[in-house]
Amino acid sequence: TLLASCIQGPLDERVRERIIAETHGNPLALLELPRGLTPAELAGGFALPDARPLADRMERSFLRRVRSLPPNSQQLLLVAAAEPVGDVIPLWRAAERLGVGPDAVAPAEAAELLELGARAQFRHPLVRSAIYRAATPFDRREVHRALAEATDPATDPDRRAWHRAHSAAGLDEAVAGELERSADRARRRGGIAAMAAFLERAAELTPDPARRGARALAAAQAKLDAGAPEAAQALLATAELAPLDELQRARLERRRGQIVFARGRGSDAPPLLLDAARRYEPLDAASARETYVEAFGAAIFAGRESRTGGVLEAAAAARTAPSGPRPPRPVDLLLDGLVKRFTEPYGEALPALTQALHAVAGRDGRSGDEVRWPWTSCPVTPEPIAPELWDDETWHELASHAESLARNAGSLALLPLALEYRACVHLHAAEFAEASALIEEADAISVATGNVPLRYTSLMLLAWRGQEVAALRAIESSLQDATARGEGRAIGLAHYATAVLHNSLGRYQDALAAAQRACAHEDLGFFGWALIELVEAGARSDAREVASHALGQLDERTRASGTDWALGVRARSAALLSDGNTAEALFREAIERLGRSRIAVHLPRARLVYGEWLRRENRRVDAREQLRAAHDTFSRIGAEAFADRAR
């Protein structure tokens, strides 16, 4: 359990048992050791040899002990170090092929380096790395050759292929083909990182330039999905040197756009993905439509910072895309819905978007494989659409599904985004602690993989918690970073978070200015949220005309949606601009509707503004009931500024 808590993605069962055995259950070792292992090593022991110089003092100490042993004992230790899961059967078979007999065991055990019983385990994990890294390339190849010959091709073809790959001194098509055939099986056992390691090594060993280019393209996609954009970029450079056909050239351009998006989420990615989609059109209609959805996703993130036409340009280009397969896939419905959203009135686009979301969520009877696509290549569009439609139930479903899919696949490219969306669902459910834990996990993965961390939910969480100093500092930093990258969506979100913070503090003039900046661009997903803040800030700062205009925009969206979330925030916002019995009826409607939705953060806010209105009406006993309920909820969930306002 402790080991699992510090590892993202799949962990091969045999690798897990080896780590636990070699750390002897030491808690610190269990937490520290995985930090030095790549995802491929964790996935199944599949990784290229690490030939870095020995820098660790403890490793050098172990190595001195190794070099004091007889040569046959040293060779046995190298075989054990190269066998990644501690399986003694292939270990002894390989040792026999190398001329190493059972007498080699005793000196190694006496030196307290190795224990050979039902499994092979080193007395300390660093013994393994010290031995392997200190060996010469020739010795490593010989040991892997012996292990390949000792591994049964019928029961463990993937492990055999991997050892053969390490034993190859040069280009070898037979080994490369074996690795390629093993890649998908490796993914099922060890996740995307294992698959990527197989495909990368297959490309390196391929002698034919055209075949090498095709394998490099496949490896680049796997590396990108595994959260290794730099490795993916290097593989694209390899592919670019190969004689590619037009379809492969389109794939290369698509991968390049995906990498640019993964590294920055700014305004550089949408044009690249649109160009790739156009390249695909005469060659592969299905891939063209998928790439248009990715371009939409990238344009949504670029937002107000788009260098060209942004989502409108994506919609215009995708509108003429070739027809997809029949029946349409979820991704085809998603593309059609997005085109309608940005070319037709909000209410008219709603049915198409709803149908797409239900297909993506698997509500129309589709299998898991059919609904998997929207998260595999460009996981940025399904979840923002759900809050755009005020559909809290589907939002919860999609976020849960994306997180589960990313974890099970070991996709370190997808997982931070999935965790971010899931954290946002928790935030709106007034589950701040759960949201915070997911944000921390997402940030750690992004830093480890070299991708830009998402700050969306973390900014909102600071604002909702009313942590003024920390929130304003984080918002300013996020604005600077997002402006430099051209990530307009992050800029809009920062302004929205600022509006929430100032409304919670009762600084309505500052909230008004921030909300107006947030509403200057219709960011998909949270534009409606910004309108809510603009109505409250305008109503409380004598800017009723601004608030009334915002309410009109909010009214159009929420009435078309018809969910309790939508109609609840609409009633609350309308109540702020109403008087007498009309206002009271709207406040009560808001409380009733929001109480039926998953969006628990807005229920105490409805009670708060209702209580404030009752005080102004000199109904202090009634006001006290609403304000106390609001205060208790805000205090329980950790919304400090809102709680203080209610107090």
Cα–chain-centroid distance for residue 379? 8
Q: What pLDDT digit, counting tens, does each position of 136-172 carry?
A: 999 999 999 999 999 998 888 888 999 999 999 899 9
* CA–CA–CA angle 255, 259, 264 (5° rounding): 150
In this prediction, residue 56 carries a pLDDT of 63
DSSP string of 304-372, one letter each residue: GG-SS-HHHHHHHHHHTPPP--SSPPHHHHHHHHHHHHHHS-HHHHHHHHHHHHHHHTTTTS--HHHH-
> Quick one: which of 468, 467, 515 has its CA closest to 493?
515
What CA–CA distance (Å, rounded) separates 106 from 575?
83
In this prediction, residue 382 carries a pLDDT of 63
- CA within 13 Å, CB half, 623: 13
What CA–CA distance (Å, rounded) separates 130 from 111?
15
Which pLDDT band holds residue 374 (cuts at 50, 70, 90)? Answer: very low
pLDDT at residue 239 tops 90: yes
Q: 305 is written with which tokens?
A: 């910072």
Which pLDDT band holds residue 36 (cuts at 50, 70, 90)? Answer: low
Place of tokens 């040899």: 49
Bridge-partner residues for 116, per DSSP? Answer: 120
Q: Which residue has the higher pLDDT, 502 or 409?
A: 502
Q: Residues of 507-516 as b/e, b for ≥16 C-beta within 10 angstroms?
A: bbebbbbbbb
pLDDT at residue 128 tops 70: yes
Q: Which residue has the higher pLDDT, 58 or 376?
A: 58
Number of neighbouring beta carbons within 10 Å of residue 149: 16
Type of residue at 324: G
Which pLDDT band holds residue 116 (cuts at 50, 70, 90)? Answer: confident
In this prediction, residue 555 carries a pLDDT of 96
Q: Residues of 372-386 as b/e, b for ≥16 C-beta within 10 angstroms?
A: bbbbbbbbbbbbbbb
pLDDT at residue 52 tops 50: no
Q: Residues of 245-264 as b/e, b for ≥16 C-beta within 10 angstroms?
A: eeebbbbbbbbbbbbbbbbb
pLDDT at residue 57 tops 70: no
What CA–CA distance (Å, rounded) separates 457 from 160?
45
Measuring CA to CA, how many Å separate 228 from each of 4, 186, 234, 390?
A: 21, 18, 10, 34
In this prediction, residue 38 carries a pLDDT of 62
- Mean pLDDT, range 494-500, rounded to an integer: 98
Most confident segment among 310-319, 327-336, 517-526, 565-574: 565-574
Mean per-residue pLDDT over the chain, rounded: 89
